[in-house]
A and B are shown apart, each in its own frame.
Chain A
Amino acid sequence: MEAWLDETGHPRGTVVTFEHMWALVRPWYAGRLSADWRGRSVREAQAILDEVGLRGDFWALG
Chain B
Amino acid sequence: MSVAEPTDLEWTVRNRIYEAFAETGRAPALAQLAAVVGATEHRIRESLRRLYAAHEVAPLPGEAGVWMANPFSGVPTAYEVETPNMTCYASCAWDALGVPAILGTDAWTRTRCAWSEEPLEFGVRGGDLEGDGGVIHLVTPLRDAWVDIGFT
Contacts and interface: CB of A to CB of B under 8 A. Distances in A.
Interface size class on chain A is 20 to 34
Interface string B15-37: 10011001000000000000000
Secondary structure of the A contact surface, majority rule = mixed
Contacts of A16: 135-136, 138
A4 B135 CA distance: 14
Interface string B40-61: 0000000000000011100000
Contact of A18 (B55, B71, B122, B143): B122
Contacts of B124: 22
A31 to B, nearest CB: 9
A26 B102 CA distance: 7
A7 B141 CA distance: 20
Secondary structure of the B contact surface, majority rule = mixed
Given A10-B139, A61-B142, A21 B97 contact: yes
Nearest to B100: A25
Interface residues of B, number: 35
A52 interface: no
Interface of B: 6, 11, 14-15, 18-19, 22, 54-56, 71, 93-94, 97-98, 101-103, 114-115, 122, 124, 129, 131, 133-143
Interface of A: 1, 3-4, 10-11, 13-19, 21-22, 24-26, 28-30, 32-33, 35, 37-39, 49, 57-62
